[in-house]
Amino acid sequence: MEQFFSLKNKVAAVTGGTRGIGKGIAIGLAEAGADIALLQRSPEDTTTKKEIEGLGVRCEIIPCDLEDSNQIKKAIPETIERMGTLDILVNSGGIQRRSPAVDFSEEDWDSVLQVNLKAVWILCQEAGRYMVPKKSGKIINIASLVSFQGGLYVPAYASAKGAVSQLTKALANEWSHQGVNVNAIVPGYIATDMNTALIEDPIRSRQILERIPAGRWGNPDDFKGAAIFLASEASNYIHGHLLAVDGGWLGR
């Protein structure tokens, strides 16, 4: 069975790899043998790079500010040039803004949609331009529980993540017969800095925990297995799927 899950000799590009879920996924893919290109805004932050290199695989930092569309468009070609190929793309980078809808600013709306949706689209498109001709590739987007539910005080985030789920399905419909798998992971409530406001709110934090059948908030390591599965040969016949990693939240 090992060959179904091995990522040796594969190259994975990962956004959001300096923290949270993205970092957990990047390290998990590296543990499975993949070389990693970290698409990140701050090239001087080498913390994740050093951790990955400590696993005995190659890791390069590719400058990619998800708020800069021109820089995003260059990230995949630069990854291929420096790493020699691209087999896996993980779109994990994202931001959050919380506010009642009547007070939600246009600036926050534009920022959230740029980082959480437009950047995902551009990176998928650039990766597809390389993967489709070679008829091989795995794209993993990070959706959210609010791809299914509306959430509270997160209108832009809910809109973006709802669109990410549909983009995942649309690209899967178009590229599956070309040998490119496009799927998404749906995180539940995860103990990362993006959810600090919820974690520090004793009432909402308790309400959330009471609804999670697993009895705990998730952590970044919980995403290693799902990411390896969707990036490996084990998922070759899986297309357009939204894989919930949520402790059972959606099933309750």
SS3 52: helix
Q: Which pLDDT value is given to residue 195?
A: 81
The percentage of residues in the chain with a pLDDT greater than 90, rounded to a whole number, is 92
157 among known catalytic residues: yes
- Encode pLDDT of 108-154 as tens digits: 999 999 999 999 999 999 999 999 999 999 999 999 999 999 999 99
What mean pLDDT is predicted for residues 233-238?
Answer: 98
What mean pLDDT is predicted for residues 181-200?
Answer: 90
193 band by pLDDT with thresholds 50, 70 and 90: confident
Distance CA 249, CA 252 (A): 6
Q: Which of 130, 153, 157, 189 is catalytic?
A: 157
The CATH code of the domain at 2-190+220-251 is 3.40.50.720
What mean pLDDT is predicted for residues 157-169?
Answer: 98
Which residue has 């970290």 as its token pair? 38
Kind and range of the H or E run holding 15 = strand 11-15
Question: In angstroms, how far is the first alpha carbon of the chain from the final one?
Answer: 32
Domain segments of the chain as ranges:
2-190+220-251
Distance CA 62, CA 76 (A): 9
**Strand-pair category, 242-245 with 88-91:** unpaired
Q: Are 22 and 15 in contact (CB under 8 A)?
A: yes
- Encode pLDDT of 20-60 as tens digits: 999 999 999 999 999 999 999 999 999 999 999 999 999 99
